[in-house]
Structure 1
Amino acid sequence: MSRDAGGSKDSQKHRRLHWSEFSRFAARVGHTLENVNEVEDWMLEHFVWFLVAGAMKPGTLANYRASLSVIQTMAGQDMSDSTRSRALQLERRDRHGRHRARTQQEFNDLLCEAQKIDNGVVHVIRLMRWLGLRMREALMCGKSLETWRELILQGNRRLPIERGAKNGRPRRTEVLMDHVDETLEAINAAIDFCRDRDFELISGCNADLKSAKSRLKSRFEQLPMRRDLASHSLRFTYAVDFANAALDRGTPPVEVLTQLSDRLGHGPSRMKMILEVYCWQIRHRFPEKIQLPSDFVPRAPAKEAATPEPGDFGDKNRVSNEAHKRWTSSRNRRIRSTREGKSYPKFLTNK
């Protein structure tokens, strides 16, 4: 189910681990789950409070709830209402102050230190800063560099990012209007560097992406890239420059946040997060009370979850909607087709 839901390999792995931990919790309270669709609302809610009692941080707790919601959705159950932060009155994670934009002097000092270690790291840093790339996107963009250069020379400032995008969702970034020359210079230098290296900016010891990513992380640890000036601060620098330039041109604040959310790969609907996280340093340039589209969407009333009686906990929830029927029937067909002509141990065939 996690694989069918999509996402990165890490996201799929984390979903499986989170759901396994939940199933162990259910077994500890006397309910061994044989199927995913046997989960009841009260189990998920009690598991959430169990994690809260263990002093789990709000950000980690949100990841657990998202994993459980995805798995239950794939099973044909909508458990989102029973584990919403608002419904359970959970503390929201505070993402403020984690990173900040670098000054030009700090960026120049970072490049000087990187040149002493690895020239490939220099090109990765420059691309992350001028195009707002994530680390994985900058690591894998080598084969897209020539396409980007041609687009810029043709006067197009929107560049497609098709390799390394988060959750495999292609997006388009934008070259900063006031820094076209710096961006083009960074792309040309990166092309010259990686043309004879099969367009790889960083090469790992095992000639695969995992080892290349590990090497890049180890290089970052040797540089002044920690805490508020970690590698993500390069994206913050891009975001602040983009927002300042758009506001100077007279673009409406809401439109600025919409465009920036899209350029950073968060989609056009994360304006509130963009304002509070990426633009916190220039918050004074936006109206004090700004109405964002997500702020005035009426919230649906929360469903009141019935409190189960002590004797009702043994009853299993028999949810079997059309989505779950389609999934189970297709799964059974795959199993039957796979078993044709093969012999299996008796304990497997009985299942």
Structure 2
Amino acid sequence: MGKLGSEMKALAKRCGGSHKTVNDRIHIVQRFDHHLRALNIQIQKVAQIKVRHIESYIHERLAQGIGKRTLQNEMASLRAVLQQVGRKQVAEHERLTNTSLGLSGASRSGTRQAITPDHYCHVLETARAKDPGLAAALELARLMGLRSQEAVQSTQSLKTWKQAIERGDTRLTVVFGTKGGRPRETVILDAGAVRRALENALAIAESCNNRLIDKPDLKSAIDYWHNQVKRIGLTGAYSPHSLRYAWAQDAIHHYLAQGFSRKEALAMVAMDLGHGDGRGRYVAQVYGLQREV
């Protein structure tokens, strides 16, 4: 990595955000740096970046078939880095608007689907035969609406969740693996099913070094999770996130059945998912709930 790449990486970290956001931003600026070096563009500092350099990068990414929504996010990262060193004039240049770059019109609607009951059963049975710990984590993800990292790190909360169920609590607190490290509370939709899943997970963890994914560190556990779930059928439209989509749709119906309005139900689900109550419309779009309710 040259001087430009090193400076951009440092600035990407300085922009702040969750660990994942910062990590994604670093990958974006490194990709941009690689693009310039591949074209033999000799730039040593961010202060030397010109509008045409960013245009060239985005045009190449479009030619590679990268989606508009993804490239909007990449432009947001590049703008943030430029603004860190006072390059507002470049960051906000009229040639670098999403419209000028051909990135407008992208939809936030989800490209994934809620997993179907049949596909879920097939995936779960395949996982149980291959790795009971992986299957237990998948089951918790489906029953609690967990993200992949939350499911992988769920072992640390199994006893706490079981105690909450036994107390008759209606919500469970998710602490480990959450986005931005922000704990969230999620509604219990089926206490009996969650209790059985927790008892099963605890039994597996006790016989497996107190882990569901028996790997020496978090990174290798996450890598194992992503590799294995693809192999058992969680890929494409039915990615691991499809378990969370299915849970979200169950949750919206749960709140509607309790007498909440559609807007209220969406706000409640947004909070359960860790998005905040102001993102009900976002949840409806991204999780495809507008097709279900």
Q: TM-score range by the shorter chain?
A: 0.7 to 0.9
1:195-344 aligned at under 5 Å gives the runs: 195-204=206-215, 207-280=216-289, 282-283=290-291, 285=293
Alpha-carbon spacing, 1:73–1:199, altered in 2? closer, same or farther (3 Å): farther
* Residue 18 of structure 1 pairs with residue 31 of structure 2: yes
3-state SS of 2:153 partner: helix
Given residue 133 of structure 1, which amino acid in structure 2 is its aligned partner? L
3-state SS of 1:160 partner: strand
Match of 1:331 in 2: none
Alpha-carbon spacing, 1:196–1:170, altered in 2? closer, same or farther (3 Å): farther
Q: Deviations over 1:290-333 (max 9, x none)?
A: xxxxxxxxxxxxxxxxxxxxxxxxxxxxxxxxxxxxxxxxxxxx
Match of 2:193 in 1: 182
Match of 2:14 in 1: 4
Pick from 184, 198, 203 the counterpart of residue 172 of structure 1. 184
Alpha-carbon spacing, 1:95–1:113, altered in 2? closer, same or farther (3 Å): farther
Alpha-carbon spacing, 1:268–1:191, altered in 2? closer, same or farther (3 Å): same
CA–CA distance in structure 2, aligned partners of residues 217 and 53 of structure 1: 28
Alpha-carbon spacing, 1:164–1:43, altered in 2? closer, same or farther (3 Å): same
Given residue 195 of structure 1, which amino acid in structure 2 is its aligned partner? E
Answer yes or no: is the 8 Å Cα contact 1:2–1:16 preserved in 2: yes
Q: Which has the higher helix share?
A: 2
Pick from 194, 215, 233 the counterpart of residue 205 of structure 2. 194
CA–CA distance in structure 2, aligned partners of residues 49 and 224 of structure 1: 34
Alpha-carbon spacing, 1:226–1:54, altered in 2? closer, same or farther (3 Å): closer
The unaligned stretches of length 5 or more in structure 1 are 286-351
TM-score by length of 2: 0.79
Given residue 203 of structure 1, which amino acid in structure 2 is its aligned partner? D
3-state SS of 1:270 partner: helix
Offset of residue 106 of structure 1: 3.5
Q: Deviations over 1:219-246 (max 9, x none)?
A: 2233232322222210111010011111
Structure number with larger C-alpha Rg = 1
CA–CA distance in structure 2, aligned partners of residues 152 and 3 of structure 1: 40
CA–CA distance in structure 1, aligned partners of residues 239 and 124 of structure 2: 14
Answer yes or no: is the 8 Å Cα contact 1:95–1:277 preserved in 2: yes
Answer yes or no: is the 8 Å Cα contact 1:243–1:257 preserved in 2: yes
Q: Percent identity?
A: 25
- Higher relative contact order at CA 8 Å, sep ≥6: structure 1 or structure 2? 1
What number of residue pairs does the alignment pair up? 277
Match of 1:112 in 2: 125
Offset of residue 18 of structure 1: 3.3
